[in-house]
Amino acid sequence: MKSRLLGGIAALVVAIIGTVMLVFYVQGADKRALANTETEDVFVIQKEIPAGTSASEFGDAVRKKTVPKSAVAKDSVNSLTGLESKVSSIEFMPGEQLLASRLIDPEALIGRGRVEVPSGLQEVTLKLPIERVVGGKLIAGDTVGVMLSVKEHEKSNTPDQTQLTFHKVLVTAVQDATGTISDAGTSDDQNNGGALNANRSSGQNVGYLVTLARSDVDVEKIVYAAEFGTIYLSKEPTAASEGTSGILDRGRLFK
């Protein structure tokens, strides 16, 4: 019985020693393989990191690893200093290098140029030329006034009409004509309006996509005006007054 026990213990010890030697051999093989290669230390993902995780909380999910310089990505991170306030823009997967371009400011996380839709509201997207979106300086998080205009209706003898119908409507997203989301994160951003304003110099007479959050009834009115009339947006911050002269037509224009 004793001999069996001793034999089992000996086998276990041999297995442990073999495993340790194998680990050291593999590590040594890596070093030998890199001995004559120019290398660089960069952070590599070790565990899955969900989108929105602060860099200060990465912990052992990232580790510095020596890799051949030829395999180092252009914006690989070799130091987390100064990046603690950033968050992961996407889910990071094990084995990939940590890239600076995938670390963003927290306020930009809700989709780069997107903000959450308040409960109970719907979103509607308008395609408008630059002069109808405050020169392209609108960004997600802004609030706008919505002016609806309709042309004269001959059958009902209704004149051309315009009204500042809705006040402080939340902009939930801004995009260029291709659907590219603005790089601006919130209304506190000072980069002159992200993707919308960036295209002003292109010289292209294209439309811009502005998504608004509004109640179901108001969405119907906005869509009607988009289909059968025209819409202008004014930048209407929280402190702006909400006065209106009512429905404006030719007869009231100069009064």
Q: CA-to-CA distance for 168 and 142, rounded, in angstroms?
A: 8
Q: Are residues 40 and 126 in the same domain?
A: no
243 pairs with which residues across the strands? none
Residue 83 is part of a domain; what is its CATH number?
A: 3.90.1210.10
Range of weakest confidence among 97-106, 168-177, 242-251: 242-251
Write out pLDDT tens, residues 15-26.
Answer: 677 676 666 555
Write out pLDDT tens, residues 173-215.
Answer: 888 776 666 544 444 443 333 444 444 444 444 678 899 999 9
Q: Are residues 133 and 220 in the same domain?
A: yes
Q: Are residues 127 and 231 in the same domain?
A: yes
Q: Rounded to 5 degrees, what angle do the CA atoms 122, 181, 118 make?
A: 25
Query: DSSP for 203-219?
Result: -----EEEEEEE-HHHH
Q: Are residues 133 and 215 in the same domain?
A: yes
Residue 158 has pLDDT above 60, yes or no: yes
Write out pLDDT tens, residues 39-94.
Answer: 889 999 999 887 678 899 899 999 999 888 888 888 889 998 888 888 887 778 89
Residue 138 falls within a domain, yes or no? yes
Q: CA-to-CA distance for 200 and 211, rounded, in angstroms?
A: 19
Q: For residue 25, what pLDDT is reported? A: 57
**Average pLDDT for 155-178:** 84
Q: For residue 147, what pLDDT is reported? A: 94
Q: For residue 203, what pLDDT is reported? A: 44
Class of residue 22 by CB neighbours under 10 A (exposed 0-12, middle 13-18, buried 19+): exposed
Q: For residue 61, what pLDDT is reported? A: 92
Q: CA-to-CA distance for 213 and 234, rounded, in angstroms?
A: 15
Q: For residue 118, what pLDDT is reported? A: 86
Q: CA-to-CA distance for 102 and 198, rounded, in angstroms?
A: 21
Q: Are residues 161 and 206 in the same domain?
A: yes
Q: For residue 169, what pLDDT is reported? A: 92
Residue 168 has pLDDT above 60, yes or no: yes
Residue 172 has pLDDT above 80, yes or no: yes
How many domains is the chain built from? 2
**Average pLDDT for 91-99:** 88
Residue 87 falls within a domain, yes or no? yes
Mean pLDDT for the chain overall: 78
Residue 152 has pLDDT above 50, yes or no: yes
* Domain enclosing residue 212, as ranges: 122-235
Q: Pick from 54, 72, 104: which residue ends a domain?
A: 104
**Average pLDDT for 229-237:** 93
Residue 13 falls within a domain, yes or no? no
Q: Are residues 219 and 133 in the same domain?
A: yes
Q: CA-to-CA distance for 53 and 10, rounded, in angstroms?
A: 47
> What does the block give as tokens for 212?
């608004």
Q: For residue 167, what pLDDT is reported? A: 92
Residue 30 falls within a domain, yes or no? no
> pTM score, two decimals?
0.51
Q: For residue 185, what pLDDT is reported? A: 40
Q: Are residues 87 and 136 in the same domain?
A: no
Residue 223 has pLDDT above 90, yes or no: yes
Q: Pick from 78, 104, 130: which residue ends a domain?
A: 104
Q: For residue 202, what pLDDT is reported? A: 42
